[in-house]
Structure 1
Amino acid sequence: MKALIDGLLKFQKEVFPQRTDLFKHLATTQHPGTLFITCSDSRVVPELLTQQEPGELFVIRNAGNIVPSYSPHPGGVSATVEYAVAVLGVTDIVICGHSDCGAMTAVAKCTCMNHLPAVAGWLEHAASAKVIHESRVHISEAAKVGSMVRENVIAQLANLQTHPSVRLAQDRGLLNLHGWVYDIETGSIDALDADNRSFKSLLDHPSTCAVHARQANAAA
């Protein structure tokens, strides 16, 4: 806790005074362009990863970067998605998985979670990804987990598109969807390509998108 308080004091004494104009502006408004949905893992820091300023990202974090399908009883993730799209008017949504994900490792390896009933229940939202994942042969344990991470990103993008606010924005050609996988060791990101449903280096292909607004609109 001391490290957090020391950091806060440094922020108040050194960082904040240099950015007073920014925080004065942010005190009464926010206009993030992107909703960034990622894992709660402490090693994944969206603002650091994307080099964004305060106010530029609207963020959801949970175990396994999961978006439950829309239901008559929406929870916190659904409410946040709806607010980001319908009120803040974000133009892009990123679902970002990552290497060495504990949640996806547990799913991929069928780890017993009887002692973690809440976690086990939450990870049921990755069940469709697990079915696809288990139908394939994997050359190693690392490849097995990596495959599960990617299939989960694809599954959560599908879940995301069951949300009325998302579908409405897509139908209007206003919302692009992105599926990313972040490698912690190398800092690289692979992105899901809408054209061939495969992941490719975002560094080499910076325009890669999972679902273009114009494509979703045309398919509707």
Structure 2
Amino acid sequence: MDAVLEKLKVGIRKFRTGVYTEHKDRYVKAASEPQKPHALIVTCADSRIDPELITQSRPGDVFVTRNVGNLVPAYGDMLGGVSAVIEYAVTALKVQHVVVCGHSDCGAMKGLLHPEALEKMPTVKNWLNNAHAALSVANSLAEDEEKPDVLLRRVTEENVLLQMQHLRTHPSVAGAMAREELTISGWVYDIGKGEVRISEDGGRVFVPVRIEGAGE
């Protein structure tokens, strides 16, 4: 018996008898109408990240693509799955906003800082070339003897900012932004704190999303 598969089946049964039953009308409606997501979220493949849960989105609300390091190759560099998702989301689905979402304790960013750890993963190492400029910027801004956790946070933020730049090189995105039909933002999700910090309006600073009544 495959123990992992059985565990997944348990989850499916809980979904079918609990979540689905409670919100059946919502799922039936989603299945009977064309999808109209309002946003595209480009985030990491890390198993601890759940963009629908973080944003409390319903089926059909957000279009999501995930990859190692939440990277967006500049247009023409690596035309493939990520580029196709962006083009489809912007051109066909007419999403109104695109998010690039990084996160704390990111293994991809750790690999960027310690490339020797990627020697047995040449494909991953090559993929992370799309983030090398972020590493260069982070290193140039780093203070002497900067603590590893501070440097990791800095690289994570710079990577999100870099991928936003790459995003703007995609013709579909550039056109929609020029027509003022699309906006973009960069997020960093802190797994342990449940906090999301956002860079918007072209800024470099990531500001925490305020909680109403929390005295922030």
TM-score norm. by structure 2 comes to: 0.89
Residue 185 of structure 1, aligned match among 186, 192, 202: 192
- Aligned alpha-carbon RMSD (Å): 1.7
Task: For residues 55-77 of structure 1, give each alpha carbon's deviation from its aligned partner in whole angstroms, at most 9, with x where no partner exists.
Answer: 11100111000011111762000
- What secondary structure, in the 3-state scheme, does the structure 2 residue paired with 1:111 have? helix
Structure 1 spans left out of the alignment, 5+ residues? 206-220
CA contact (8 A) 1:191 1:200 kept: yes
1:7-18 equivalence runs, <5 A: 7-18=11-22
Task: Report the counterpart of residue 90 of structure 1 in structure 2.
Answer: 95
More moved, 196-205 vs 47-56: 196-205
Task: Report the counterpart of residue 25 of structure 1 in structure 2.
Answer: 29
Query: Which amino acid in the other structure matches residue 173 of structure 2?
Result: V
Residue 141 of structure 2, aligned match among 133, 136, 142: 136
| Separation (CA, whole Å) in 2 of partners of 1:190 and 1:14 | 32
Q: 1:147 to 1:111 in 2, by over 3 A?
A: farther
Task: Report the counterpart of residue 199 of structure 1 in structure 2.
Answer: 206
More moved, 44-53 vs 196-205: 196-205
Task: Report the counterpart of residue 163 of structure 1 in structure 2.
Answer: 170
- What secondary structure, in the 3-state scheme, does the structure 1 residue paired with 2:169 have? coil
CA contact (8 A) 2:38 2:62 kept: yes
| Separation (CA, whole Å) in 2 of partners of 1:109 and 1:140 | 15
Task: Report the counterpart of residue 113 of structure 2 in structure 1.
Answer: 108
CA contact (8 A) 1:188 1:203 kept: no
Task: For residues 38-83 of structure 1, give each alpha carbon's deviation from its aligned partner in whole angstroms, at most 9, with x where no partner exists.
Answer: 1011111001111111111100111000011111762000000000
Q: 1:25 to 1:11 in 2, by over 3 A?
A: same
Task: Report the counterpart of residue 126 of structure 2 in structure 1.
Answer: 121
More moved, 27-36 vs 79-88: 27-36
- What secondary structure, in the 3-state scheme, does the structure 1 residue paired with 2:15 have? helix
| Separation (CA, whole Å) in 2 of partners of 1:165 and 1:94 | 15
Task: Report the counterpart of residue 51 of structure 1 in structure 2.
Answer: 56
Q: 1:77 to 1:146 in 2, by over 3 A?
A: same
| Separation (CA, whole Å) in 1 of partners of 2:13 and 2:211 | 40
Task: Report the counterpart of residue 84 of structure 2 in structure 1.
Answer: 79
CA contact (8 A) 2:71 2:131 kept: yes
Residue 69 of structure 1, aligned match among 74, 77, 86: 74
Query: Which amino acid in the other structure matches residue 56 of structure 2?
Result: Q
State the 1:16 CA deviation: 1.8
Task: For residues 90-145 of structure 1, give each alpha carbon's deviation from its aligned partner in whole angstroms, at most 9, with x where no partner exists.
Answer: 00011010000000011123434221000001000001111111212242000010
- What secondary structure, in the 3-state scheme, does the structure 1 residue paired with 2:110 have? helix
| Separation (CA, whole Å) in 1 of partners of 2:46 and 2:20 | 27
Query: Which amino acid in the other structure matches residue 122 of structure 2?
Result: P
| Separation (CA, whole Å) in 2 of partners of 1:195 and 1:50 | 22
- What secondary structure, in the 3-state scheme, does the structure 1 residue paired with 2:37 have? coil
Query: Which amino acid in the other structure matches residue 169 of structure 1?
Result: A
Q: 1:111 to 1:189 in 2, by over 3 A?
A: farther
Query: Which amino acid in the other structure matches residue 61 of structure 1?
Result: R
State the 1:12 CA deviation: 1.8
TM-score norm. by structure 1 comes to: 0.88
Structure 2 spans left out of the alignment, 5+ residues? none
- What secondary structure, in the 3-state scheme, does the structure 1 residue paired with 2:118 have? coil
